[in-house]
Amino acid sequence: MNNQAIKYEIKENIGIIKGANHPVNALSYEVRKGLIDSLQLFLKDDNIEGIILCGEGRTFFAGADISEFGKPMQSPSLNDVIFEFENSNKPIVAALHGTPLGGGLELAMGCNYRVALSSTNLGLPEVKLGIIPGAGGTQRLPRLAGIEKALSMITSGTPINAKDALNSGIVEEVFPDNIIENAMNFIKSKLSLDNHPIVSKLSEKVSNIQSEVFDNFSNKIQKKYRGRKSPLCAIEAVKATTTLTFTEGLEKERELFKLCHDSKESSSLIHMFFSERKALKIPDIPKDTKILPINSAAVIGCGTMGGGIAMNFANVGIPVIVIEDTQESLNNGIKIIEKNYSNTVSKGKMSDSEFKNRMSLIKGATSLESIVGADVVVEAVFEEMKLKKEMFSRIDKLAKENAILATNTSTLDIDQIAESTSRPEHVIGTHFFSPANVMQLLEIVRGKKTSKEVIASTMKLAKNIKKTPVLAGNCDGFIGNRMFHEYVRQAHALAEEGAKVSDIDRVIYDFGWAMGPFAVNDLAGNDVGWRIRKRHKQEGKYDNLRYTSTVADQLCELGRYGQKTNRGFYIYDQQTRKKQIDPEVDIMFEKVAKEKGISRRQIDDNEILHRLSWALFNTGCMILEEGYALRASDIDVTYAYGYGYPHWRGGPMKYAEDYGLEKVLEEIESFRTKNPDMWPKCNYLEELVKENKKFN
């Protein structure tokens, strides 16, 4: 009867059902079937008086098997399984550890009792996949934990820890260790009771709730979940606990679950889930590649990026030395780090002792010699090739033998930097995004000679410091900025042709991006690009790099660098940072258009969206064709985690694929007839369309 995915055993008068579907005990068909079979066996066995449900390995059941979504459902459904457990005439305790999530927690709520290890994190993360809990979670959690807690957990999808679960009534007891032994004692202590609690029959916490509670909650989350459907469906499902019977509520949940399950939002978010994990797999780097241990770090340059990079190490307990060339700039850099952590403390998100602990892990120095003991050295000095080469040749002489030598350059050639050392195989690009302590993406740039060990170790390091890594090849702008360059160029072209700056940003914001291209430029500082353009002019590279409008340069010449000077493409309130349209900027575009002989016209929102989206996409296809990205889904991850692209649209490549590659190509071709320079032909895309193929 033991199948591969479920094991069972009997100890004294207690039956133990154990999930063994590694690695996360996803509730696949085999698991569901095994659960029912073993339960029935235990119910028939008169020697068994109580049952423990638990998971083997790293976790209790972490939810439905996401890879089964969209395929025909094989009976028994998870709801069927939960009903069998709920209707058991022998008491059942769910012994939780690891990450009981989604269907896993729903199954646990179908048991009479729940106990947990103190390290457990549990929750209903379904909205992160664009769905809602579909196995009674929206109906049982409010009955256990109350409406407010359930709304917060289900709409955010964020897991809570065991202590919180105990305080909220989701679990009965929490143990520091020995979960099975403790669950055994727990269930034995309940055997003499005549009745055992059944969550679906509880009603106290869902009675007499005013409907405004739901309206208020929905208003509160509206901005955060702009454009999303599933969080609102989740609220509607939870509301059903206060107006309908349990059975009717389950029907409502099913109806809403189906609506979400069949949506683009869900297929896009599921694509994101698997893409993020796929990005970790590098075809030519075997799983057993040696990983270099990283127990200490050094960051050279403690400016905008270096400070944030150092915080990433301290946040996970890795001691880090930050190096500046003068004591004054070192003090400034460390002061900014301290201020960042203090802000977190004042928001109540970090304790004083943790603040002290993190600061104690960050040491400052003004001499490069201090890098000698570091397992990884990250260079984050000014973006100048000469300086970077100089730094790397000095780093080479000082760093320990197996150290990873990383550069945070955003535009420079990694191979050239590597050549200034005697060990180019140890040199790699780690392109953090600003603010480096917040942004989740880490673009890891592979040089021609970077060794497999160094790549595998840097990917691992990225995960350890809680980043989402994507491997890129060493081309100009790597993956993200190379595409962004074309996107911004397109935005400028639209503005010259007649679209208003604020309309372009509005269309992009309404699509779901965090902000439009002009607002991003203002945030990042227009002077950054200006300096690069000036340098490119001096180097004679300007024309080849195909910059578009001179308006950005004109603004910089007027000192309008963006938010930092309260004026850029927009005007910013000094105190509130609220932005206001600057009509002068549209006039500047109009003037440039006149000089270039461009006849201006009304441009509709659809054209704005498609030109910007396909500019990104076409460049993404070129990057794939040239082999600088491993797969289209890596590009999607890059954009979702590094550029504020809406996850629920799946990323620029998935969005275009959903729209239809043939239609996208047709539109690109029509744009190309008007402006060939902006729309280079991509053979890879043409082949995909011709052969009616999809990405991977």
User: CA 351 to CA 341: how far, in whole Å?
Assistant: 10
How would you classify the pairing of strands 160-161 and 121-122?
Answer: antiparallel
Active site (annotated) includes residue 106:
yes
Report the first-to-last Cα separation within the chain, whole angstroms: 39
Q: How far is the CB of 222 from ligand 3HC (least distance, A)?
A: 24
Between β-strands 376-379 and 297-300, what pairing exists: parallel, antiparallel or unpaired? parallel
Query: Within 13 A of 579's CA, how many CA atoms are on the CB side?
Result: 22
Q: For residue 676, count other CB atoms closer than 10 A to its CB.
A: 10
Q: Which is nearer to ligand NAI, 182 or 563 (CB)?
A: 563
Choices 56-64, 175-183, 263-271, 657-665 (CB under 6 A): range interacting with ligand 3HC? 56-64
CB of residue 402 to ligand 3HC, shortest distance in Å: 26
User: Judged by CB, which is closer to ligand 3HC: 158, or 360?
Assistant: 158
486 part of the interface to ligand 3HC, by CB under 6 A: no
62 binds ligand 3HC (CB under 6 A): yes
Residue with Cβ nearer ligand 3HC (283 or 597): 283
Q: Which stretch binds ligand 3HC (CB under 6 A): 121-129, 177-185, 384-392, 525-533?
A: 121-129
Should residue 24 be labelled a site residue for ligand 3HC when binding is judged by CB under 6 A?
A: yes
- Is there binding between residue 126 and ligand 3HC (CB under 6 A)? yes
Q: Which of ligand 3HC, ligand NAI, none does 444 bind, CB closer than 5 to 8 A by kind?
A: none
- In the chain, the amino acid numbered 428 is I
Residue 302, contacted partner among ligand 3HC, ligand NAI, none, CB below 5-8 A by kind: ligand NAI
State residue 184 phi and psi, 5-degree precision. Answer: -60, -50
User: Is 122 or 523 the residue whose CB approaches ligand NAI more closely?
Assistant: 523
66 binds, among ligand NAI, ligand 3HC, none (CB under 5 to 8 A by kind): ligand 3HC
Distance set, CA 57 to CA 2, 27, 28 (Å): 17, 15, 16
Site string for ligand 3HC, 355-394 (x = CB under 6 A): ----------------------------------------
By CB under 6 A, residue 532 contacts ligand 3HC: no
Choosing from 86, 106, 324, 667, the catalytic residue is 106
Please, what sign has the CA dihedral across residues 407, 411, 413, 419?
A: negative
Note if 126 is an active site residue: yes
Exactly one of 53, 64, 520, 603 binds ligand 3HC (CB under 6 A); that residue is 64
**Member of 5, 17, 65, 489 binding ligand 3HC (CB under 6 A):** 65
Q: How far is the CB of 436 from ligand NAI (least distance, A)?
A: 7
3-state helix, strand, coil in the chain (%, to 5): 50, 10, 35
Q: Rounded to whole angstroms, what are the CA distances from 529 to 280, 382, 473, 523?
A: 31, 14, 22, 12
Place of tokens 């050392």: 421
Task: Give strand pairing partners of 51.
Answer: 15, 92
Q: Residue 598 — φ and ψ, nearest 5°?
A: -85, 125
Tokens of 222: 């509206």
CB under 5 to 8 A by kind: which of ligand NAI, ligand 3HC, none does 324 bind?
A: ligand NAI
Question: Contact between 637 and ligand 3HC (CB under 6 A)?
Answer: no
Beta bridge partners of 567: 562, 571
In the bound complex, which residue of the shown chain has the CB atom lying closest to ligand NAI?
A: 303
Q: Is the dihedral of CA 464, 465, 468, 472 positive or negative?
A: negative
| Given 30, 68, 84, 126, the catalytic residue | 126
CA atoms within 13 A on the CB side of 442: 30
Cβ 536 to ligand NAI, closest distance in Å?
A: 14
Give the pairing of strands 579-581 and 570-572. antiparallel
User: How many H helices and E strands in the chain?
Assistant: 28, 18
**Contacting range for ligand 3HC; rule: CB under 6 A; set: 20-28, 284-292, 572-580, 663-671:** 20-28
297/323 Cα distance (integer angstroms): 11
- Rounded Cα–Cα distance for residues 398 and 385 (Å): 20
For ligand NAI, the binding residues (CB under 6 A) are 300-306, 323-325, 329, 333, 380-383, 408-410, 431-432, 434, 524
Q: What's the min distance (Å) between Cβ of 627 and ligand 3HC?
A: 23
Sites of contact with ligand 3HC (CB under 6 A)? 23-24, 26, 62-67, 78, 99, 101-103, 106, 125-126, 129, 133-135, 137, 277
What residues are annotated to the active site? 106, 126
